[in-house]
């Protein structure tokens, strides 16, 4: 049973008891005591009912000092707003609570155990992919072209090539290069196309050698020197020569190596070579469409659903998250930064709190506000009525006992 009905029932029982015991007051002390108890309980219950009802409505239509909540709405609202913003939600109180929180620990727990790391990567992907894929590659390339062109023009390519030539002339680079060239030479020599070229040239030379001489033809046939046989001899000799050079230590290998190193040193020290490279660079940069090349490269490599930079970005983000979870100094800085940011924003925008509270309270009409407050405190207020009836009855019976005792003592 709701306390409102209990309080009303208590008042009704008190009034009924008062009415029923009134004719019996002359029948003895007990009936008088019961009657005065019920009378006082009725008076106390009625007084408390009037007081409780006057908070929200006009009991019995009485307008004087009733509807307290409705008539004092502005003052009550001002008090609520002031208390909430200046005391309950003051910057000091909020930061006092925030100061006890380990924001870095919460962030680490979120990243490691609540799927935060995946959400961070998803947000990074969404933001960057959206930004990149909506980018106008041509416009970006045109804006970058002057800087790229200037950078390429300022780049001393001729000096770089000169240094490269000097480097190639060193033993540690020239020897591997010669071995590589010898290996390539062997592959080129025995390639089908090269073998066919050699065979064709042997046939031409054979015809030139034989001409109209039957003796030369006879000698070559006696020695079984067919075109293919001559090609085989050439292949064998060249292959043997290349193998000897690859093994090093031969006179031809040393001469070739010395000539190559001398050539590289010569190129590296030749001013005319550097000047030619510089002129070529300038002429090439004047002709090349840098913006078009940049735009095409960005369209092919930067944009798309899975560009080349996405996976390295994921590894970078994962590494930073792992490092953040491990390093206490980063966490301390993060905690300090978050709390400092919150405090700064609270100080800057604290005036929004009373505005928000007032706006929310202003959404309530008088009836809505009265109903809302009454619903929250109704049970406690009804207990006042119940207690009023109980206390009234006890006080009434106590006073009746005192009066009766005084009458008997003084013979009144």
Range with top average pLDDT, 40-44, 67-71, 335-339 = 335-339
Tokens of 361: 């309270």
pLDDT digits over 358-370, tens only? 888 788 777 777 7
What's the CA angle centered on 245, arms 239 and 251, to 5 degrees? 125
pLDDT given for residue 6 in this prediction: 77
pLDDT band at 109 (very low <50, low <70, confident <90, very high): very high
Instruction: Kindly tell me if the per-residue pLDDT of 1 is higher than 60.
Output: no
By CB atoms closer than 10 A (0-12, 13-18, 19+), residue 329 is: exposed
Give me the mean pLDDT over the 166-183 stretch. 73
**Residues 320, 395: Cα–Cα separation, whole Å:** 76
Instruction: Kindly tell me if the per-residue pLDDT of 412 is higher than 80.
Output: no
DSSP codes joined into one string, 330-388: HHHHHHHHHHHHHHHHHHHHTTHHHHHHHHHHHTS-HHHHHHHHHHHHHHHHHHHHHHH
Diameter of the chain by CA atoms? 183
Distances (CA, A) of 22 to 12, 16, 64, 142, 271: 15, 10, 32, 106, 134
Q: Which of 62-71, 94-103, 361-370 is predicted least confidently?
A: 62-71
Percent of the residues in the chain that have a pLDDT greater than 90, as a whole number: 9
- Bigger pLDDT: 376 vs 88: 88
Q: Which is nearest to 32 in space by CA: 409, 402, 397?
A: 397
Instruction: Kindly tell me if the per-residue pLDDT of 232 is higher than 60.
Output: yes
Give me the mean pLDDT over the 280-298 stretch. 81
pTM for the full predicted model? 0.51
Q: Which is nearest to 38 in space by CA: 16, 14, 20, 19?
A: 14
pLDDT band at 196 (very low <50, low <70, confident <90, very high): confident
- Bigger pLDDT: 291 vs 374: 291
């Amino acid at each position: 049973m709701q306390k409102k009905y209990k309080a009303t029932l208590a008042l009704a029982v008190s009034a009924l008891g008062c009415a029923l015991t009134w004719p019996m007051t002359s029948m003895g002390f007990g009936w008088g005591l019961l009657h005065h108890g019920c009378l006082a309980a009725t008076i106390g219950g009625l007084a408390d009912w009037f007081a409780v009802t006057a908070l929200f409505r006009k009991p019995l239509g009485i307008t004087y000092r009733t509807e307290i909540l409705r008539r004092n709405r502005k003052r009550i609202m001002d008090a609520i707003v002031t208390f909430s913003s200046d005391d309950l939600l003051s910057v000091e109180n909020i930061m006092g609570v925030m100061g006890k929180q380990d924001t870095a620990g919460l962030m680490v727990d979120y990243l490691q155990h609540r799927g935060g790391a995946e959400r961070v990567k998803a947000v990074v992907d969404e933001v960057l992919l959206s930004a990149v894929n909506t980018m106008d590659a041509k416009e970006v390339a045109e804006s970058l072209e002057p800087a790229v062109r200037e950078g390429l023009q300022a780049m001393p390519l001729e000096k770089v090539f000169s240094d490269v030539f000097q480097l190639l002339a060193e033993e540690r680079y020239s020897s591997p290069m010669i071995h590589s060239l010898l290996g390539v030479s062997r592959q080129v020599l025995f390639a089908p196309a090269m073998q066919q070229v050699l065979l064709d040239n042997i046939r031409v030379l054979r015809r030139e050698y034989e001409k109209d001489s039957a003796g030369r033809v006879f000698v070559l046939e006696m020695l079984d020197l067919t075109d293919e046989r001559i090609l085989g001899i050439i292949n064998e000799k060249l292959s043997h020569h290349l193998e000897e050079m690859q093994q090093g230590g031969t006179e031809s290998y040393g001469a070739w190596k010395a000539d190559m190193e001398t050539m590289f040193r010569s190129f590296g020290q030749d001013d005319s070579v550097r000047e030619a490279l510089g002129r070529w660079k300038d002429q090439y940069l004047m002709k090349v469409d840098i913006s078009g090349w940049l735009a095409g490269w960005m369209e092919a490599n930067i944009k798309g659903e899975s560009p080349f930079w996405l996976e390295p970005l994921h590894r970078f983000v994962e590494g930073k998250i792992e490092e953040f979870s491990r390093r206490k100094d980063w966490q301390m800085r993060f905690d300090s930064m978050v709390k400092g940011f919150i405090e700064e924003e609270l100080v800057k925008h604290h005036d929004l709190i009373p505005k928000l509270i007032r706006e929310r309270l202003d959404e309530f009409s008088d009836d809505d506000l009265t109903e809302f407050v009454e619903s929250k405190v109704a049970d406690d207020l009804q207990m006042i009525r119940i207690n009023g009836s109980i206390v009234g009855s006890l006080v009434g019976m106590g006073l009746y006992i005192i009066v009766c005792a005084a009458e008997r003592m003084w013979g009144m």
